[in-house]
Amino acid sequence: MTENTKRGEVAAFLTQRLAEITKRDPSMITGSSVFVDMGLQSIDAVLLCGEVEDKFDIELDPASIFEHDTLDSFLGLIDERIAAQ
Partner 1 sequence: MTTWYLGLSTSGHDPALAIADEAGQIRFAEATERFVQDKRAWGIAPDHVTHLEHALKACGADPERDRFVVATSWKAVKASLDIVVHDAMLPASDTIWMRGLQAGLQASAGANLLRLGVEDGRRETLHFDHHHCHAAATAYFAPVDDAVCLVLDGEGEVGAASLFSMSSRELKRKWRGWGPGSLGTFYAWLTFHCGFDWRLGEEWKVMGLAAYGSILPELQGEMTRLLLVDHGRLKFADNETIAAIDALTRAHARMPAEPIMKAADLAATGQAVYAALADRVIADVREDGVPDLLLTGGCALNSSYNGTIAGRLGFERVHIAPCPADDGNAIGAALLAFMQDRGVAGVPASPDASPFLGTVPDRAIERKMAHAANGLSVTDVSGRSAAAVAGRLAEGRVIGVMRGPAEFGPRALGHRSILADPTRPEIKDRINAEIKGREPYRPLAPVVLEAEVGDWFERPQPSPYMSITLPWRSTVQVRVPSVVHADGTGRLQTVSPDSQPWMSALLDSLRQTTGVPVALNTSLNVMGKPIAHSVEDALAILATTGLDGVLCEDYLVEKP
Residues near partner 1 (CB under 8 A) are: 42-43, 46-47, 49-51, 53-54, 59, 61-63, 66
Q: Distance between CA atoms of 51 and 32, rounded to whole angstroms? A: 21
Min separation Cβ 24 and partner 1, Å: 22
CB 78 within 8 A of CB 61: no
CB of 43 to partner 1, least distance (A): 5
Q: Which is nearer to partner 1, 53 or 79 (CB)?
A: 53
